[in-house]
Amino acid sequence: ILNVEQSPQSLHVQEGDSTNFTCSFPSSNFYALHWYRWETAKSPEALFVMTLNGDEKKKGRISATLNTKEGYSYLYIKGSQPEDSATYLCAFLDDYKLSFGAGTTVTVRA
Amino acid sequence: DADVTQTPRNRITKTGKRIMLECSQTKGHDRMYWYRQDPGLGLRLIYYSFDVKDINKGEISDGYSVSRQAQAKFSLSLESAIPNQTALYFCATSGVGDTQYFGPGTRLTVL
C-alpha cells in the first residue's frame, strides 16, 4: 500500500479567485502520477498523466506541476468558476495499479 | 453509449446475502479494476485483472471475489454481504498509457 496524501481535504473558493492544492507521494521508484476530477454524481475522469520531473500540464484554467525528486505535485485552478467544483484525486502509478489519495474537494462560491 | 457500464446502479441488500456487481466495457482494454470508495477515503483497489486469465488481489480483497468472463466483462461478488461493505463501487479499465476510465458506480447498501 503506497502512501499518497492530499491537502487540504477541502477548500472553498470565491468565484474568480485562483487556488492550488498538493499531492505528496513516494519519491522512489516513480513511474507516473495521475490527476482525476470527480464531480458529484459522476465518475472520476482523467485530467493529467505526468511522468517527468518538472512536467507541467495544462487544460483550460487547470494546470499541474510535478516534482518527482521531492515527491509532490501541485494542481492549480486559475480564475475559479462554479463548474470547477469537484473532488480532485491524485494517484500514484505502481505496476499498472493506481494508489489514490483521499482527494481535495473544491467548492466554488458564486 | 457509455464505454464502461455497471449494473446495478443502486442496490440494497441484507446481511448474509450473496450479491454480484457487473461491469462491461467497449473500450477494448485488457486491464480492468474494481474499487470501493468510502467517505473520507480514497478509492481503494479490491481486485484487478490484466487479461482474462489473470486475476490479482488488491488492497482490500477480503470478503470479495471476482470473475473475468471475457475481455469485456469483470464481475465482483460479495459472497456473504456485511454492513461494512456498504460503499460506492467503481469499475475501471485501462489500456496503453495507463489512464483509467471509470464506470458510473454502484451504490451498495447492506442492512
The pLDDT of residue B9 is: 96
Q: What is the pLDDT of residue B97?
A: 76
- Average pLDDT for B89-106: 93
Residue A16 distance to chain B (closest CA, Å): 27
B5 touches chain A (CB under 8 A): no
Does A1 contact B98 at a Cβ distance shorter than 8 Å? no
Closest A-chain CA to B94 = A96
Confidence of residue A5 (pLDDT cuts 50, 70, 90): very high
Determine the residue of chain A that is closest to B33 in CA distance: A97
Query: A110 or B65: which carries more pLDDT confidence?
Result: B65
Count of C-beta atoms within a 10 Å radius of residue A29: 9
pLDDT classification of A33: cutoffs 50, 70, 90: very high
State the Cα–Cα distance between residues A94 and A28, nearest whole angstrom.
11
B77 pLDDT above the threshold of 90: yes
Report the candidate in B63, B40, B23, B57 with the shortest Cα–Cα distance to residue A100: B40
Work out the number of other CB atoms within 10 angstroms of the CB of residue B71: 15
For the segment A35-93, what is each residue's pLDDT rounded down to a tens digit? 999 999 899 999 999 999 999 999 999 999 999 999 999 999 999 999 999 999 999 99
Here the cell at position A50 is 505526468
- Interchain pair A89, B43: CB under 8 A: yes
Question: DSSP class of residue B97?
Answer: T
Give the pLDDT score at A1.
62
Q: Is-contact A101 A93, C-beta < 8 A?
A: no
Q: Which three cell numbers stand for residue B34?
A: 474494481
**Residues in CB range of A102: below 8 A, 6 or more apart:** A5, A6, A9, B40, B41, B42
Where does the pLDDT of residue A96 fall: very low under 50, low under 70, confident under 90, or very high at 90 and above?
Answer: confident
CB neighbour list of residue B39: distance below 8 Å, 6 or more residues apart: none
Give the pLDDT score at A43: 93
